[in-house]
Amino acid sequence: MAATDFGVVINGREEAGLSGERFSRQSPFDQSVVSTYPNCGLEEARLAITTARSTFDSTRWPTSRAADRARVLTKASQLMLERVDDFARWISLEAGKPIRMARSEVTHSAHVLGYYGAAANDLRGEAITQQVPDAIGLVIHEPVGVVGIITPWNFPLSLVVRKVAPALAAGCTIVAKPSHFTPAVTLMLAKLLTEAGLPDGVFNVVTSETDNGALVGQELAGSNKVDMVAFKGSTEAGKAVARAAAGNIKKIALELGGKSPNIVFADCDMDEALKGAYNGIYLNSGQVCQAGTRLMVQRDVKDEFVARLIEMSRAIRMGDPLSPETSMGPVVNEKQFSRVKDYIARGRNEANLVFGGSQPQDPALEKGFFVSPTIFDEVGNQTTIAQEEIFGPVLSVMAFDTPEEAITIANDTMYGLASAVWTNNINTAFQVAKGIRAGTVWVNAYHNTSLNNMPYGGYKQSGLGRELGAVGLHEYLETKSIQIQLRGAAGAR
């Protein structure tokens, strides 16, 4: 296929960029060039920020009726559902995600847009009198202002929509910088929102790679014209964003790394727990911040559980992401490919490799960045593969005996993003769910994204703030108290 040329979106128009410099994106499946983009630098970033700032200060969007913002988001949701295949195709081409998973990501994103379309109409203030005869208090919520949004490549549509939708529902204006590995769907989202009725200048998108990308990201985080930055990526990159944002004490929302425990008790429904463990580590080739990378199994059933999981893993079909038969695609790029292989090499010295660990031998896969599903057993929780985020299909299995021990092992990490517990004992479920220091705990499930009204985010070094649900909307709002002194009222002085 011929590569598709994209432009950036500033003030509602597609632009070629100011410098004329471009970069290309290669498919992680066969390394063919699938798309090209403007390689924006500080000049384009500042233009996009100034556009978002002037659009916000003109007050047209931030003071628009909630019904108008709701209408745009609801229409955008409908349009996206009509174009699932188009969006999914670009996710597969650029990210290497199997097309079935890509379609699910698009559908989820459309539902998030629809959810915040409804939520925009539910924004309410409150009146407070506290039985004071001569005063009334009003508490109102206003948009935070200009939001810089920086998103990664592993879920290139849903992770930007989870930030864009509540920011627009609140009345904010936006400058987004997607990963240079997967910019297509963010630019497609910008065009879709314009078609849905979003005013020009509200949602702006700049693209850049490598050195320019770092400069643009730092400009978004550090600019005095930006009121908030919402970032999704690694913990180290999140720390750099936080340092830059401290310059004008802007609000930050960070969704960072994870090393999530997936805890299986002997009394669970083992068939369902096996499905959960399988999806928990292999979804998107393990390139998921909330992946269940630490599989903790009660000692009495661990050997049986691991043996059955290995048999399930043998059935994984790696191949062309655009094929409906493919269940696992490549990792996103050569750097990630090398990173995962390095961790597997470390794991060989730290634990017992019981499955995988080598590259697939299929000649049809030789051009792609494919990593075989890999399982290590008898992993100590202080080993490298148990403590560091690998971002690949590499599972660390460890045994435990009691709920108390499981909680201790689960919490012995710098991360606290997600977790799961599998048991048929409600008391055990609550004990472990309450004991784990993580922002999300699934009980008898993993990667459950069907509840768009549930807040999502991390403890400890997994992030700051929450997205999704009403809490996710309030991240993009400021709260104002208005105190009104009544004159002539009984008791007034």
Catalytic residue positions? Answer: 255, 289
Burial of 349 (0-12, 13-18, 19+ CB in 10 A): exposed
Contact between residue 204 and residue 10 where contact means Cβ atoms under 8 Å apart: yes
153 half-sphere exposure, CB direction, 13 A CA radius: 25
Element (H, E) at 170: helix 158-170
Question: What CA–CA distance (Å, rounded) separates 244 from 251?
Answer: 11
**Tokens matching residue 449:** 């994204």
Distance of CA 43 to the CA centre of its chain: 28
Q: What is the DSSP letter of 328?
A: B
How big is the chain by its Cα radius of gyration, in Å? 24
Label the pairing between strands 251-255 and 261-264: unpaired
CA angle in degrees (0–180, nearest 5) for 221-226-230: 55
Question: What CA–CA distance (Å, rounded) separates 120 from 357?
Answer: 48
- SS3 category, 14: strand
Contact between residue 351 and residue 378 where contact means Cβ atoms under 8 Å apart: yes
**Tokens matching residue 159:** 């992770």
Q: Listing from the earlier edge strand, what are the strands of the sheet with 33-38? A: 4-5, 33-38, 22-26
Question: What CA–CA distance (Å, rounded) separates 112 from 109?
Answer: 5
Taking Cα atoms as reference points, which of 326, 332, 368 lies closest to residue 96?
332
Distance of CA 300 to the CA centre of its chain: 36
**Integer CA distances (angstroms), 256 to 8, 253, 351, in order:** 26, 10, 27
DSSP string, 408-452: HHHHSSS--SEEEEE-S-HHHHHHHHHHS-SSEEEES-SS----T
Q: Torsion angle of alpha carbons 173, 177, 182, 185, nearest 10°?
A: 10
Contact between residue 391 and residue 282 where contact means Cβ atoms under 8 Å apart: no
